[in-house]
A = this chain, B = another copy of it.
Amino acid sequence: MDIELQLAVENLLARYAHALDDDRLEEWPDFFVETGCYRVTTAENHARGLPVSLIYAESRAMLRDRVSALRHANIYEAQRYRHLVGATLVERQDARIARAVSSFQVLRIMASGETVLFASGRYLDRIRLSGEISRPQFEERVVVCDSRRFDTLLAIPL
């Protein structure tokens, strides 16, 4: 087991979660490499090998556009989110790439104060380790949601 790699990946996942929960959306694209891919799909579609994605972006520029759209629509700030991430399994693919799978849960805290379970699922990550190991980045993050039911707010980053 590669302890340093395990903790570097857990640290990446934790920084990502806090950036979203702290509403630091502008930092979100920087967790990806320039040509990084971000997809949201359902467990059902994923299991069937269906390429359908609810959300799809294949570059940091597209992620930046998404952030701009969210800021403009102003939907993100109306509520808070809280990500819990765990059960992180990491494997080194080669000198520059690691694969990780982890479980997540997202709570949504409404302006009224009510808290609801918003989403749960798995992150399937391909992570680039070039440069210093303490700052890995996503080449691909596939968010596989357990539920097939989504509401329109799913446009928020998961």
Contacts and interface: CB of A to CB of B under 8 A. Distances in A.
Interface of A: 1, 3-4, 6-8, 11, 13-15, 17-18, 21, 43, 80, 82-89, 101, 103, 105, 107, 109, 112-117, 120-122, 133-134, 146-149
Given A80-B146, A82-B103, A120 B113 contact: no
A112 B1 contact: no
B86 A85 contact: yes
Contacts of A148: 113
Given A3-B4, A82-B120, 12 more contacts: A1-B4, A1-B134, A3-B3, A3-B7, A14-B88, A18-B89, A21-B103, A21-B122, A84-B86, A109-B147, A113-B147, A115-B120
A122 B87 CA distance: 15
**Residue of A21, A109, A113, A133 with most chain B CB atoms under a 10 A cut-off:** A109
B113 A149 contact: yes
Contact of A105 (B80, B82, B147): B82
A8 B17 CA distance: 21
A29 B87 CA distance: 19
A153 B113 CA distance: 16
B146 A109 contact: yes
Contacts of A149: 112-114
13 contacts: A1-B7, A1-B8, A3-B3, A3-B4, A3-B7, A17-B87, A18-B101, A18-B122, A83-B87, A84-B84, A109-B120, A109-B147, A114-B149
